[in-house]
Structure 1
C-alpha cells in the first residue's frame, strides 16, 4: 500500500484498476475495494475518474463511498482497531468498552491518533455474537474482550 503518491499517480493507477475490473457485473464495489487496497483509502480525486469510466455521476460514486462504512476518506493508521457495535456486543458491554478505548486513544470513531498509530472504526458485526463483545485489531479477531484484553491490544498498537 503506497500512501504517498502524487495525484497523477492516483489517477494513473486507478485507471489501471478500473479498466481491469469494469467488465464485471456491478463493478463499482470491486473497484472501490481494489483502490482502497492499493492506496489505503479512496482518494477524493479518484471519484470523478471512476464516474467517468463507469458512465456514472460523481454523486453516484460519492454516495456509494459514503454509504459503506468500510471505505476510508483518508489513510488509516498503522493499526486499525474495529469494535463491534451490533446488538449482541452492546448487550455484553461494548458501549462501555468503546468509551474506554476512546478515552485511552484520545480519539472517536473514524479518527486516527495524532501519532498515526491507530485508527478506530465501528463495525456492525464480526460474527462472534456468542463471544461478545468482539473486536478486530488489524486482521486478528478477539472475542469476550475485557479490560485485560483491551490492555494487551493497546500495548500492541503502541509498540
Structure 2
C-alpha cells in the first residue's frame, strides 16, 4: 500500500489487519508489526483505530508504540541500516563504527537521509556477540564490521 492513500483507506486497511489478528492472545504486538509491515511505520491515524478495535485507550496504544524502539512513528528510509550498540560490540569498537557511519551518511541515529534512501538505527544485540562489531542492512547481518566493510555496505545502498 502506498502512502498516497486517503486517511479513510488507511483506517479501513488498518481495521482489516487488526481484525485478522485481534483473536490472538496478546494481539497488540502482532498487530503493530503487521501495520508497520504494511505502511512502513505506525501512522498516528491508526492508533485510535487500534484502541477502538481492542477496547483500549489511545494512551495505552501510544505507550506500546513508543516503548518499543522497533516501531516507527514516521516513514523510514528505503533501506534500514542498524548498528549494534550492545556491550559486546562496544567492547570491540562499535562506537568508532557508529561515528564513521554517521559521518558517511550525514545523519544521526533515528534519522533518515534527506533523499529518503537510508534510515540509521541503533540496535541492542543482533546475536553476533562473538563476531562484533555487528551491523544489519535490510535484514542481512554482518559481523566483524570494520571501516572498510562499513564503506562497502554503505556503498551498496545506491543512494
Task: Specify the alignment match of 1:34 in structure 2.
Answer: 34
Task: Specify the alignment match of 1:112 in structure 2.
Answer: 112
Q: Distance in 2 between matches of 1:128 and 1:96?
A: 18
Q: Distance in 2 between matches of 1:77 and 1:98?
A: 18
Task: Specify the alignment match of 2:121 in structure 1.
Answer: 121
CA RMSD in angstroms, aligned pairs only: 0.9
Under a length normalisation based on structure 2, what TM-score does the superposition of the two structures give? Answer: 0.97
1:3 and 1:40 in contact (8 A); partners too: no
Q: Is 2:15 the counterpart of 1:6? A: no
> Matched residue pairs, number?
159
Q: Is 2:47 the counterpart of 1:44? A: no
Deviations 1:15-40 (A, max 9, x none): 00011100111000000000000000
Q: Distance in 2 between matches of 1:43 and 1:97?
A: 32
Q: Is 2:80 the counterpart of 1:90? A: no
Report the 3-state secondary structure (helix = DSSP H, G, I; strand = E; otherwise coil) of the residue aligned with 1:10: helix
Task: Specify the alignment match of 1:146 in structure 2.
Answer: 146
Q: Distance in 2 between matches of 1:107 and 1:130?
A: 28
Deviations 1:54-107 (A, max 9, x none): 010000000000000100111111110000010000011101111111111111
Report the 3-state secondary structure (helix = DSSP H, G, I; strand = E; otherwise coil) of the residue aligned with 2:65: helix
Under a length normalisation based on structure 1, what TM-score does the superposition of the two structures give? Answer: 0.97
The answer for unaligned runs of 5 or more in structure 2 is none
Task: Specify the alignment match of 1:81 in structure 2.
Answer: 81
